Structure 1
Amino acid sequence: MSLVRSVLLRVPAAAAKPGPAIGQALGPLGVNMAEFVKQFNDATSSYKPNTPLPVKLSAFSDRTFSFVVQTPPTSELVKQAAGIKAGANRPGSEVVGYITPQAVYEIAKMKQRDETRSFYPLEGIAKSVVGTCNSMGVVVRDEVEEGEGEGEKGN
């Protein structure tokens, strides 16, 4: 059992389907798509459905596979927390939403669970989240008025 190849995918949480997007990536590797979809949907059932999740899949020569699900992209988590559909077209001069420092902290805690960030201090990850907010036109402030943001939070 040797590694054939590793691929990076972005798959919607708890809603993966054996369609062309996944098929084109997994078909040449000999991976059973139906089995991957079943295992992936079970593993991501705790996330908000359809949240795009980065997945690193390793395919082996005996047609088995393993995969690691990473946390959603920071921009997705910020959009969910601010209750917006997209970031600003002109981030420096346009504000599309607001989130609180508590929401930034929650996002940073979630991102710290990634194996690549597990050894980073929480403060550093939080600063990175604030940077993502700035580049999206989302303002971090203590008080968020009714209807200004703090939408649904993802998992």
Structure 2
Amino acid sequence: MSKAVRRVVKKAVEKINHSGPLRTDIPAQMAVAAPPLGPQLGQRGINIAAFCKDFNEKTKHIKEGTPLPTRVYAKPDKTYELIIHSPPASFLLKQAAGIQRGTMFPGKEIAGKITLKHLYEIAAIKIQDPPNALLTMEQMCNLLIGTARTCGIEIVKELDANEYGKFLEERKVIVEQQKKELQEKKEAKMLRTA
């Protein structure tokens, strides 16, 4: 093999990128060069400042802080392909239910409630993500029902606003009690290990 052919083959080999996509959740409009995002992009040879500016510009129409599953495909010429998915199903379900966190005991307690209309609207958002492209609307709804059950969210046909407001007030007391119990357990564990 001549030197010229070797040089061409070597260039072709150097351009192959064996690393997979960077899979991460980045809050909308909040991409910064600080860890963990900055070092992950730097390892792939991506211009961090340009990426942050690009991501923040593409997500300016979304409420700030909303977690967005993101896939970044680095190319050999130091450019990248950015794919931004819709927020996670659990986030959307909790937002629809008006709760901050799901239940600690799935199947034993209810953290919140949503209507079938909420479920359908969330399914319409989630089915647009590339991984869900081949699912039917019924399959997407069934996946969301499973996620809702895991979060402790009950799906009902109709929801009275006043009743639900009372339910959420009662639930706040339960959540505060659970947080207090968890804190006590953590403190007890810290005392044992110290």
2:153 counterpart letter in structure 1: V
CA RMSD of aligned residues (A): 1.5
CA displacement at 1:10 relative to structure 2 = 0.8
1:108 corresponds in structure 2 to: 123
1:96 corresponds in structure 2 to: 111
Mean Cα displacement is larger for which, 37-46 or 133-142? Answer: 37-46
The answer to whether the Cα contact below 8 Å between 1:4 and 1:59 also exists between their aligned partners in 2 is no
Q: Secondary structure at the match of 1:126?
A: helix
1:62 corresponds in structure 2 to: 77
More helix by share: 2
Mapped to 2, the partners of 1:25 and 1:3 lie a distance apart of 15
2:46 counterpart letter in structure 1: V
1:46 corresponds in structure 2 to: 61
The answer to whether the Cα contact below 8 Å between 2:32 and 2:38 also exists between their aligned partners in 1 is no
1:144 counterpart letter in structure 2: L
Structure 1 length-normalised TM = 0.89
Deviations 1:15-70 (A, max 9, x none): 22221121121111111111111111121222222111111101122211111111
Matched, 1:131 2:166: no
Mapped to 1, the partners of 2:56 and 2:115 lie a distance apart of 31
Mapped to 1, the partners of 2:154 and 2:59 lie a distance apart of 30
2:17 corresponds in structure 1 to: 3
The answer to whether the Cα contact below 8 Å between 1:29 and 1:59 also exists between their aligned partners in 2 is yes
CA displacement at 1:119 relative to structure 2 = 2.1
Q: Secondary structure at the match of 1:143?
A: coil
Mapped to 2, the partners of 1:128 and 1:47 lie a distance apart of 24
Larger Rg: 2
Q: Secondary structure at the match of 2:119?
A: helix
How many residues of Structure 1 are paired with residues of Structure 2 in the alignment? 149
1:71 corresponds in structure 2 to: 86
Identity %: 35
RCO higher in structure (CA 8 A, sep ≥6): 1
Structure 1: stretches of 5+ with no match in the other structure: 150-155
Mean Cα displacement is larger for which, 1-10 or 106-115? Answer: 1-10
The answer to whether the Cα contact below 8 Å between 1:87 and 1:96 also exists between their aligned partners in 2 is yes
1:25 corresponds in structure 2 to: 40
Mapped to 2, the partners of 1:27 and 1:4 lie a distance apart of 16
The answer to whether the Cα contact below 8 Å between 1:82 and 1:99 also exists between their aligned partners in 2 is yes
Structure 2 length-normalised TM = 0.72
Matched, 1:122 2:137: yes
